[in-house]
Amino acid sequence: MPLSFRLGAFYFAFFAYAGVYVAWFPLYLASRGLGAAEIAWVLAAAPAVRIFAPAAWGWLADRTGAQRAIVAFSCAANAAGFAVLPFVEGFAAIAVLMALTSVLSAAALPLVEAITFAHLGAQQGRYGPIRLWGSFGFIATVLGGGAWLEVQPAATLAAVLLGCALGTLGAALYLPAGATHRAVQRARFVLPPGATALLGSGFSMAFAHGALYVFLTLHLQRLGYGETFIGFAWTLGVLAEILVFLYLPALFRRASLATILAASCALGALRFLAIGWAADVAVLLLLAQLLHAATFGSFHAAAVAAVHRVFPPHAQGRGQTLFSSLSYGAGGAAGALAAGWAWELAGPAAAFSLSALAAGAGLLFAYVLKRAGF
């Protein structure tokens, strides 16, 4: 079985799970009686614990070469968490369960990113055609989830998430094994040049997406959109993302990584302002969703490629997990909590305006990275 196929299969399974979690899990939490602020806390608990957990997993993976085993363990832990979830009652218990699950499952995606770029070598543009299978998985479950919720109660989503998590475990078992770097790991770990600006840009962009991932579905539901349309809105963004991944080799040849990051952040500010202030106009909402091609697609691809370039070969696992910790962990948690606070205080427009400001900060960090030669 070709390695590219095995990597693509994992991305498909992982983002099929992510599609259900991102688009529909807030509805599940609302069906369990949680309010907006409590939902924000539960969804922030997952990225919050990822501030520290991925770095430890990354060190272990670089030291032992057990990337595949750690990824498989992470997927199994995720499945166990959703198997227990229906039997847990109350906001505090649900938040603790999701936080614990995230500690144990935090290594999966960043370690697979490291495995993928090790496989690609100098051909980093080929990341897009492999990673787009994740977008296909996301689309399948976002659309399928919308149709499912038209006829099934939101309480059934826990079983759906369990099934998707088991799918990622199956795909993880077919990943390639990693290599060890025992001698080099004794050296003190120091951030290489450009890493601070890269991590700052990642933190800012993940913060900017906090309102999107926590409240977009609830925001559109409040505006009167049905589940099928909401699923279509999520899907449209991922379809645009797929186009970016398809043309990623050409994009990487024509623009520097820092330029791609900067342009993605600028478009992110525009997108979040449109969602916050004009989502009641369906055409503007859908145009804003098309900008997901930049705010996630091109930004994420350029960011993980920059991590591969900035960090040395013996620290690839730690580089990817550190980026995951500080961006999708710290940035995602801070963005989710800030969005919940702004939502409770002044409503959706304030929450998404805060996201636009964070994307603007990411643009400044990307400019610093560009000045450093990336």
Q: What does the pLDDT look like over 122-164, one tens digit per residue?
A: 676 678 788 889 989 988 998 888 888 888 998 999 999 999 9
Higher-confidence residue of 197 and 56: namely: 197
First-to-final CA distance of the chain: 35
Asked if 137 and 12 count as a contact pair (C-beta separation under 8 A), the reply is yes
Q: How confident is the model at residue 206 (pLDDT cuts 50, 70, 90)?
A: very high
The pLDDT value recorded for residue 183 is: 44
Highest mean pLDDT among 29-33, 325-329, 360-364: 360-364
Segment 352-367, tens digit of pLDDT: 999 999 999 999 999 9
How many Cβ atoms sit within 10 Å of the Cβ of residue 174? 15
Please report, as a single letter, which amino acid is at residue 185: Q
Q: What is the mean pLDDT of residues 274-293?
A: 96
Longest pairwise C-alpha distance within the chain: 59
3-state helix, strand, coil split of the chain in percent (to 5) is: 85, 0, 15
Name 123's Cβ contacts closer than 8 Å, sequence gap at least 6: none
The pLDDT value recorded for residue 85 is: 95
The pLDDT value recorded for residue 118 is: 80
Cα separations in angstroms, 188 against 98, 104, 160, 182, 202: 33, 26, 44, 13, 24
The pLDDT value recorded for residue 122 is: 63
Higher-confidence residue of 195 and 181: namely: 195
Segment 330-350, tens digit of pLDDT: 898 899 889 989 998 999 999
Distance CA 3, CA 151 (A): 39
Cα separations in angstroms, 3 against 118, 147, 171, 197: 12, 33, 12, 33
Angle ∠(193,194,199) on CA atoms, nearest 5: 125
Check whether 234 has a pLDDT greater than 50.
Answer: yes
Higher-confidence residue of 292 and 23: namely: 292
% of the chain surpassing 70 pLDDT: 92
82, 123, 136: which is closest to 105 by C-alpha? Answer: 82
Domains of the chain from N-terminus onward: 3-177+191-371 (1.20.1250.20)
Q: Which of 78-82, 291-295, 324-328 has the lowest mean pLDDT?
A: 324-328
Distance CA 83, CA 157 (A): 11
pTM for the model stands at 0.73
The pLDDT value recorded for residue 167 is: 96
127, 179, 130: which is closest to 305 by C-alpha? Answer: 127
Asked if 326 and 203 count as a contact pair (C-beta separation under 8 A), the reply is yes
Check whether 185 has a pLDDT greater than 50.
Answer: no
Check whether 295 has a pLDDT greater than 60.
Answer: yes
The pLDDT value recorded for residue 184 is: 46
Higher-confidence residue of 277 and 313: namely: 277
Query: Tokens at residue 53, please?
Result: 């957990």
Please report, as a single letter, which amino acid is at residue 67: Q
Q: What's the chain's average pLDDT?
A: 87
Asked if 165 and 78 count as a contact pair (C-beta separation under 8 A), the reply is yes
